[in-house]
Amino acid sequence: MADKTLGILGGLGPLATVYFMDLIVKLTGAEKDQDHISMVVFNHAAIPDRTDFILDSTKPNPLPMMIEDAKKLQMSGADYVVMPCNTAHFFYEQIQRNISIPMLNIIEETVRYAVENTPDIKKLGILATKGTITAGAYQHMCEKFGIDWAVPTLADEQSLMNIIYNQVKAGKDININEFVRIINNMKADGCDAVALGCTELSVINKDFALNRDDVIDSLEVLAKKSILLCGKKVR
């Protein structure tokens, strides 16, 4: 298969985009530069906040910028487009309709991975932004794959949003004990695995090397799928 170029619609947020690129490089089974995939990246940090708009449609709409960015990636030679942001997949279908190249869906790939790699999975825990949870993206995808799902309690959701916005996105110290407590609460609720359905949570997973078999990192799943689609090997 001929090598393909990956287009990354980034800036959602910038740290997660940079980590996604780093993850792709580290997960590629490469022995020389030419064994890596080619990437076209638009790290557009000015795109309005996705959760703000999902929760309040009077807030600035990020969709027009994302559509234009996807078109620019296509014009720049990308064969596939990915968005290293779970919440932004609220707009997935509208963006895909405006480009003629395939766009990977991080939520679909993550749930598929959970089903295929978690023995006898019946229930998936979803850790994500309030926007993603409110949109029901992971819930609908779990139902599509025939498994049950659970989301955090209201108190844990508020704590998780604080971790995402006031710690990771703000570049502040992470309360890792609180994050692990939330994961463990999901397990106690009967979840066979817990999906990190926010790319800022993937950054925590990297920085603290959680190394838990019951935690599925959506950004890592997307990186591996991107490598394979672009004709390279996963390490």
The CATH number of whichever domain residue 101 belongs to comes to 3.40.50.1860
- When mean pLDDT is compared across 96-105, 113-122, 199-208, the lowest value belongs to 199-208
pTM of the model: 0.93
Please check whether residues 126 and 33 belong to one and the same domain: no
Count other C-beta atoms under 10 Å from residue 110's C-beta: 26
Q: Residue 211 — pLDDT band, cuts 50, 70, 90?
A: confident
Cα radius of gyration rounded to whole Å, the chain? 17
Mean pLDDT of 51-70: 95
- Print the domain residue range for 58: 5-105+221-229
Establish if 55 belongs to a structural domain.
yes
Which of 120, 115, 107, 126 shows the shortest CA–CA distance to 185? 126
At residue 1, does pLDDT exceed 70?
no
Please check whether residues 39 and 132 belong to one and the same domain: no
Q: Which of 142, 191, 198, 230 is catalytic?
A: 198
Q: Which of 85, 142, 191, 230 is catalytic?
A: 85
Per residue in 141-160, pLDDT (tens digit) is 999 999 999 999 999 999 99
Mean pLDDT of 16-34: 94
% of the chain beyond a pLDDT of 70:
100
- Give residue 3's pLDDT: 86
**Tokens linked to 7:** 């287009």
85 is catalytic: yes
